[in-house]
Amino acid sequence: MKNSPEYILGFHQTSHAKLPIVGGKGANLGELARIEGICVPDGFCVSTDAFRRIMAENPVINKLLAQLSLLKTEDRALIAGLSHKIRTSITDTPIPPDITAEIIRHLATAGKEQAYAVRSSATAEDLPTASFAGQQDTFLNVIGQESILQHISQCWASLFTERAIFYRIQNNFPHHKVYLSVVIQRMIFPQASGIMFTADPISGNRKVLSIDAGFGLGEALVSGLVNPDVYKVADDTVIDKKIATKKIAIDALPGGGTNEQKIAPEKQNKQVLADEQILSLARMGRQLEAHFGSPQDIEWCLANQKFYIVQSRPVTTLYPIPKQEDEQNHVYLSVGHAQMMTDAMKPLGLAVWLLTTPATMRVAGGRLFVDVTPMLLSPKGRPSIIDTLGRFDPLVKDALTTLIDRGNFIKSLPEDENEPDSDKGNKSTPPPNYQALNNYDSLGGAAKVVAGLIKNSTASIETLKQNIQLKSGAEVFDFILEDIKELKQTVHAPQSFGAIMTGMNAAVWINEKMNEWLGEKNVADTLSQSVPNNVTAEMGLELIDVADLIRPYPQLIDYLKHTKNDNFLDKLPDFAGGTEAKKAIEAYLDKYGMRCAGEIDITRTRWAEKPSILIPAMLNNIKSFETGASKQKFEQGLQEALKKEQDLSERLKQLPDGEQKARETKQMIALVRDLAGYREYPKYAMISRYFIYKQALLKEAKKLVQAKVIHEKEDIFYLSFEELREAVSTHQLDYTLIRQRKEDFKNYEKLTPPRVMTSDGEIITGQYKRENLPGGAIIGLAVSSGIIEGRARVILNMEDADLEENDILVTAFTDPSWTPLFVSIKGLVTEVGGLMTHGAVIAREYGLPAVVGVENATKLIKDGDRIRVNGTEGWVQILTQ
């Protein structure tokens, strides 16, 4: 039996349980009214039942809503037209007499001349994950029954302003599933008002409370008419005050409505709240935060020396803090920035990565973080870890240094009194590892060691492919766990890690010594071109070879240009040259089909699962290169490297002790060329295993779908490894868990993870320390030498790539899956990355000038801008827009 509609509810009748009836604002006001010691102006809510009735009794509105549901954000003109029609239709519809009578009855208790605030309260508003604040209208100082009724209709209509429509489309909220309640609240005429955040909205620090304060009504602050005073409070102490010049206030007019008033000059620079009032208000904020269980965005006002709370909503923009087991201070580093994948990961992806990695990691906001606190506590180890991290990402080094320099967050452990003075303090990068040279000589050379590592790994992967086919049910999970042990032994083996680090140290040595002896920077970049055993670089070049087979056949090219079919391979034999092209693409996928954007997340769609992802890259190769270009590109890079080696040798021999310097440099160059390419292999091996695991798990998922345990195979991506094992074993699962995880993931996708954050939630941002830069230069990290000018192509999705010769790729981040595009570009700019991340390694391999770690590059640089990239000094200039 359906409940009777509730058209009017007093604040004492509302709570979070009534959110579908009174909206987010109304529900929160009901909660606030129940909290002891918190003063809330009295009022009532005109419920969503009243709004639904208005909508249901007007068939024109529903037809217009059906049209609106088909539109996207780019349909601005159509949205504007429908917005106007819907709002007019609502305001022209009379409020039913029985609802009108009930509203008037509630108003009568306070008297006809009482002023009210009439405020919209949508069901998709003031929610824990999306505030939707300010999307609907609020009207202040409304006096008289007729005026209040008119403003109720205007609030309902404001659900369909262009602004509100766009916001819902962007946040994937269906228009027909959002309803509006209207809050009628007794008007307070304050001498001061403002906003309070119980967590610092700028830094995210949960222990710092921030108050904005101005004279008069809060509308002056909200609308940006005045700059407010800003007070910061921590540990019941005012720690910072910024007193603004406040020239305007908004006050209520006696007959209704509001008006701007000029503030007297002698009052403009006066502190709005006294320190005692700041602390009193802050205590209220902490009380509300404790009640609601999360940081709050609170609207307050001060009248007759009494604070009133007129709204409290969750702060939705804060990045979640990794969970911890103690109350100590901790410092967390983003794993995604190091892995060049800052997107949110699904639960199964997080679980498999955590099983794989030897490091202890924590999850927050769908991303992984490493707690580096233990390494920062030691005065002896601290400089080493900060310098090491700084070699990969200077922004991380500067952020950590900033935090350490404060002296009050990370306390140093006592220094070892027995430590020699010479060992204390900062330690420089070690000299070339001559022991490593001797070790490789005894093993038959670095190249032989690398070949052995790759051979053993390849054999292990083939064995995995064969053996996992024999497993089913819970056996699959046990088998994967056992194989992960094998994965760790091969990927993280000391000999494998030693090969990578020796190659890196040799490159650092070359760069330092050549700069010192010859005054030439980043020489190792040229010497690293066209090295052997770089599986990621080979992947890019081999796709050029695939393009060579397609290029002679215009009909085949035309089909690829226009097909939207994920199964396009099946149609290729219908065209001349198609059979050979299909075989070549399938061979390519056999070798590289496990790769994809964000590949460290096992749940991501692989090239082998959706080969059409590669079509834009193949078409770019067909357009940009002549037949045989892959071999020419490799040979060109090789000759440049050999030429540079010869040049260095000749110049070094002219120096004092030149023969010795040339001999040492030759040894280091040999290590770089033999070992640099292997840097890419361990991840390739790991991702190869991931894809095998995924295929086996999806077989089990198919059985769960057939058993009606889940709705689609991809549902398993929202379970942890152990949760999935349990579901496979028992064929039982509460599907609401998957629904909630999907909703959580949508919200995590909107967040931007910080490089460095503390256990207080504070985001510590680093800065580049650079001087003598050209005007307008955007600073980043130089990772591949050279200077190039060209057209910027801002591309966030590899499938959207349409590149021309001399284009410079500008994107958020690149992982190995982007390599096929690298062969077509002349330079690279990314927002995320470090010296040894994959994009940097491949840029050096291909000889592309590259600058990474350029904050907000995809926003500062527009698609089509002509830019200059200096990969030697580490900056980008926008030349023309």
User: Residues with catalytic annotation?
Assistant: 838
Strands 850-852 vs 827-830: parallel, antiparallel or unpaired: parallel
Strands 787-794 vs 808-811: parallel, antiparallel or unpaired: parallel
Whether the Cβ atoms of residue 870 and residue 782 lie closer than 8 Å to each other: yes
Q: Write down the H helix ranges in 656-792.
A: 658-675, 681-706, 721-730, 735-749
Residue pointed to by tokens 């001087």:
771
Spatial separation of the C-alpha atoms in residues 620 and 604, rounded to whole Å: 24
Distance from the Cα of residue 61 to its chain's centroid: 38
Spatial separation of the C-alpha atoms in residues 825 and 790, rounded to whole Å: 10
Nearest to 116 by CA among 137, 152, 140: 140
Strands 306-314 vs 296-303: parallel, antiparallel or unpaired: antiparallel
Spatial separation of the C-alpha atoms in residues 15 and 8, rounded to whole Å: 14
Question: What tokens appear for 282 in the block?
Answer: 């802050």
Whole-Å CA distances, 608 to 700, 715, 873: 19, 20, 39
Residue 172 Ramachandran class (φ > 0 left, ψ -120 to 50 alpha, else beta): left
Whether the Cβ atoms of residue 558 and residue 702 lie closer than 8 Å to each other: no
Residues in the chain: 881
SS3 of 680-704: HHHHHHHHHHHHHHHHHHHHHHHHH
Whether the Cβ atoms of residue 869 and residue 827 lie closer than 8 Å to each other: yes
CA R_g for the chain: 32
Whole-Å CA distances, 853 to 27, 473, 761: 43, 44, 22
Contacts of 352 (CB under 8 A, 6+ apart): 602, 690, 693, 721
Strands of 787-794's sheet in order across? 778-779, 875-880, 866-870, 787-794, 808-811, 827-830, 850-852, 781-784
Q: Which residues pair with 239 in a beta bridge?
A: none
Q: Which residues pair with 296 in a beta bridge?
A: 314
What per-residue string of b and e applies to 543-572 under the rule 16 or more CB within 10 Å gives b?
A: bbbbbbbbbebeebbebbeeeeeeebbeeb
Spatial separation of the C-alpha atoms in residues 447 and 528, rounded to whole Å: 15
Q: Which residues pair with 364 in a beta bridge?
A: 367
Nearest to 144 by CA among 9, 46, 254, 58: 254
> What is the number of other CB atoms lying within 10 angstroms of the CB of residue 742?
14
SS3 content of the chain, % helix, strand, coil (to 5): 50, 15, 35
Report the SS3 class of residue 666.
helix
Spatial separation of the C-alpha atoms in residues 812 and 860, rounded to whole Å: 12
Question: What tokens appear for 432 in the block?
Answer: 């070339």
Cα angle 261-262-268, degrees, rounded to a multiple of 5? 130
Spatial separation of the C-alpha atoms in residues 93 and 62, rounded to whole Å: 14
Give the chain's largest Cα–Cα span: 101
